[in-house]
Structure 1
Amino acid sequence: MPVLARTWAFAAVAWLSLGLSACAPAAESEPQAVDTTAASVELVADDYVILYSGREEILVQPLIDIFTEETGITVDIRYAGTSELAAQLFEEGDQSPAGVFLSQDAGALGALSDAGLFVSLPAEITDRVDANFSSTDSSWVGVTGRARVIVYDSETVAAEDLPQSVDEIVGPQWSGKVAIAPGNASFQSFVTAYRVLLGNSAADQWVSGLVVNDPQIYEKNGAILEAVNDGIVPLGLINHYYWYRLATERGVENMRAQLHFTPAGDPASIVNVTGAAVLLSQQGDADAFRLVEFLVSDRAQQYFVDETFEYPLVPGIDAPEGLPALSSLQVANLDLSDLRSLAETQLLLQKYGLIL
């Protein structure tokens, strides 16, 4: 069994402690309301913006280079994990130098929004994206969609034997045969969605059953996919686009690993989003708003389709070939803003030893 990857835990614990303290009400007085609308301050452009990116440099930098070429705006980027950057933003508070936060998932965005660290985005940005994939208060906007999937070894697992729900994964027939990445933000958002949809008690039982079932632990989605493709483990829980990237490199015909989408409404196939927000500390930075606006432009959305194989969230841009329609994967009663309760999920995973 692979060694449990726990080097991530420092950032997670920092986020948890900082996030809970940042969101807690003051002991002696009620917090004062803050006007976070973009129109509340005069916007100033200086052709420079700082971006905190929870997405990998290999995915983001080429697109940012296009933005700089088109606008003349220099983007100073700090790349790190979404959890690590969220912890830093909680610590920096309203003194953060960051103008834009690009997150790997909605959970981090929701937690930071609850802490009042984002400024509301104007309608010309938020209206470009389906309201189901952005915050209800315009504090952040979805950039791309990422479906959770079950990846399986097609040489050892027959299609008719695949789990039809996430609950089947904790059945005895899959003991020792399922790979997960519990320290990864996307896995934690999936568990958060399970909690939101089915309740804390059901989520506790599921995580407990998963641990009893001896899951194979990996650090990242990509490592899980490689393990399944190499025949090391029969099943894994990942995001869909990892398969498309590997298939592009090696050829679809050479892929032993295949994707399985569970029926609509099941948490195993929820669609989470990457998303962007402008920090309240830089609410007067016109360049920050231009960067977020660019991320939901047709040019950027097509880039994500072609280069990262993610779902575009702007109408009129076709999804990567072969993917099921985005609408067919939506969970009707899941508000992505509810994924902000990530701290509770981290406590649950800590309870059963999946993260420190």
Structure 2
Amino acid sequence: MSRGLKILVTALTATVAATAITACSGGSDDQVNLYSSRNEGLIKPLLDEFTAETGIRVNLLTGSGDGLLSRLQSEGQNTPADLFLTVDAGALHRAKQADLFQPVTTQALSEKIPEHLKDQENHWYGLSMRARPIFYAIDRVDPSEITDYMDLANEKWRGRICVRSSDNIYNQSMVAALIDHHGEAATEEWARGLVANFARSPVGGDRDQIHAVASGVCDIAIANTYYFGGMVNSDSATNRDTVSKVAIAWPAQDSYGVHVNVSGIGLIKHARNEENAKKLMDFLASRQAQTWYANANSEYPVNPEAEWSETLQSWGEFKADDISMSVLGENNATAVRLMDRAGWR
């Protein structure tokens, strides 16, 4: 299929889904409308289970996080959306700053989701957690050399590091956290050292960085764990070859802990099915939903009662940074400017 045809099919699919949601946009006892940047396959089974348990139909519209955010802003008070689910605390912060959410508190959300994994004013809640550690080539790197993110600025890593571009929200949030821990000046000095150690100009996504380590393009990379989990559980021969050559180093274990981020959800300010939306939020924070997601997508549960998947358990326990997720959004603009000054393109 040509790129142009793919774009057209995607647009038509989104239009059909949006039309279906709009047709059901009035308040109802048996429905709720969800805009989600998560892949349909990674959320739809949970939504179907919610419907089976409650009788509440979930009308789902999927798309890119930025695209759905723009759509919500354009729709304003006429939006059919009741909930917005997206990835990264930075993206959730943008939605809050755009005045799209309303604060919400339920007993389940208060009890099941730790304070640092939700908005400080309860405008959004984390639903799954991903760590962003360092991946290294088993045959070329001693993991004892990688005890902290700050180590990556050391000249011994010159020409040996792969990471995706600075316009990626995951990297922006990581730098935002480092600013909180080390200050802006020290973090900028670190970023300059990191850039000097790049094996290549940033290109591709997190999986590409991990593959680059396995193929010898670089020796270490920064990436989210759930991408690696998908490769571990893949039937692809290429993925199997890569995971046999790459391992995880958990940095900052003697200090603040490995950087983590969340996917999360917020209640739309103009929601028409507010009570149903709250029920869906509670369901997604439940032990069974959290355990399913850990198994389906190799993301860590935010609910401490939920079980880790076998894949997650195989990587061992680690100390996670307990910085407030709100800080990642608040420091985003500073992080982006810092990365630009450091030459991180």
Q: Same fold (TM over 0.5)?
A: yes
Retained in 2: the 8 A contact 1:179–1:235? yes
Give CA deviations for 1:113-170 in whole Å, capped at 9, x if unaligned: 244321222222322212221122221111111111101111222233x321111112
Task: In structure 1, give the amino acid aligned to 2:120.
Answer: T
User: After alignment, is 226-235 or 150-159 more displaced?
Assistant: 226-235
After superposition, the CA RMSD in angstroms is: 2.7
Q: Secondary structure at the match of 2:133?
A: strand
**For residues 87 and 202 of structure 1, do their structure 2 counterparts lie closer, same or farther at Cα, with a shift above 3 Å needed?**
farther
Give CA deviations for 1:259-307 in whole Å, capped at 9, x if unaligned: 1101336678212111111110216533322222221122210111211
Match of 2:205 in 1: 220
Pick from 282, 285, 304: which aligns with 2:274? 285
Match of 1:246 in 2: 231
Q: Secondary structure at the match of 1:280?
A: coil
Take 1:226 and 1:116, find their aligned partners in 2: how far apart are those partners?
Answer: 39
Match of 1:169 in 2: 152
Match of 2:293 in 1: 304
Task: In structure 2, give the amino acid aligned to 1:159.
Answer: P
Give 1:180 shift: 1.1
Retained in 2: the 8 A contact 1:126–1:138? no
Give 1:254 shift: 5.8
Retained in 1: the 8 A contact 2:290–2:303? yes
Take 1:195 and 1:261, find their aligned partners in 2: how far apart are those partners?
Answer: 19
**For residues 230 and 44 of structure 1, do their structure 2 counterparts lie closer, same or farther at Cα, with a shift above 3 Å needed?**
same
Take 1:296 and 1:110, find their aligned partners in 2: how far apart are those partners?
Answer: 20
Take 2:44 and 2:35, find their aligned partners in 1: how far apart are those partners?
Answer: 12
Take 2:277 and 2:193, find their aligned partners in 1: how far apart are those partners?
Answer: 44
1:143 aligns with 2:121: no
Take 2:140 and 2:87, find their aligned partners in 1: how far apart are those partners?
Answer: 32
Task: In structure 2, give the amino acid aligned to 1:314.
Answer: N
Match of 2:192 in 1: 208
Give 1:185 shift: 2.1
Residue identity (%): 27
Take 2:71 and 2:344, find their aligned partners in 1: how far apart are those partners?
Answer: 23
Match of 2:325 in 1: 336
**For residues 66 and 93 of structure 1, do their structure 2 counterparts lie closer, same or farther at Cα, with a shift above 3 Å needed?**
same
Match of 1:322 in 2: 314
1:194 aligns with 2:178: yes
**For residues 262 and 138 of structure 1, do their structure 2 counterparts lie closer, same or farther at Cα, with a shift above 3 Å needed?**
same
Retained in 2: the 8 A contact 1:44–1:286? no
Retained in 2: the 8 A contact 1:265–1:329? no
Task: In structure 2, give the amino acid aligned to 1:277.
Answer: G
User: After alignment, is 191-200 or 91-100 more displaced?
Assistant: 91-100
User: After alignment, is 174-183 or 70-79 more displaced?
Assistant: 70-79
Give CA deviations for 1:48-107 in whole Å, capped at 9, x if unaligned: 333222223332233233333433434333333334433444454444332211121112
Q: Secondary structure at the match of 1:282?
A: coil
Take 1:46 and 1:210, find their aligned partners in 2: how far apart are those partners?
Answer: 54
**For residues 159 and 204 of structure 1, do their structure 2 counterparts lie closer, same or farther at Cα, with a shift above 3 Å needed?**
closer
Take 1:91 and 1:345, find their aligned partners in 2: how far apart are those partners?
Answer: 27
**For residues 212 and 317 of structure 1, do their structure 2 counterparts lie closer, same or farther at Cα, with a shift above 3 Å needed?**
same
Q: Secondary structure at the match of 1:119?
A: coil
Give 1:112 shift: 2.4
Pick from 330, 333, 346: which aligns with 2:336? 346
Retained in 2: the 8 A contact 1:106–1:340? yes
1:181 aligns with 2:164: yes
Task: In structure 1, give the amino acid aligned to 2:217.
Answer: I
Retained in 1: the 8 A contact 2:162–2:198? no
Task: In structure 1, give the amino acid aligned to 2:127.
Answer: V
Q: Secondary structure at the match of 1:306?
A: helix
1:123 aligns with 2:106: yes
Retained in 2: the 8 A contact 1:302–1:312? yes
Pick from 17, 33, 58: which aligns with 1:50? 33
**For residues 187 and 267 of structure 1, do their structure 2 counterparts lie closer, same or farther at Cα, with a shift above 3 Å needed?**
farther
Task: In structure 2, give the amino acid aligned to 1:274.
Answer: S
User: After alignment, is 284-293 or 70-79 more displaced?
Assistant: 70-79
Task: In structure 2, give the amino acid aligned to 1:269.
Answer: V
- How many residues are aligned here? 309
Retained in 1: the 8 A contact 2:131–2:260? yes
Task: In structure 1, give the amino acid aligned to 2:321.
Answer: Q
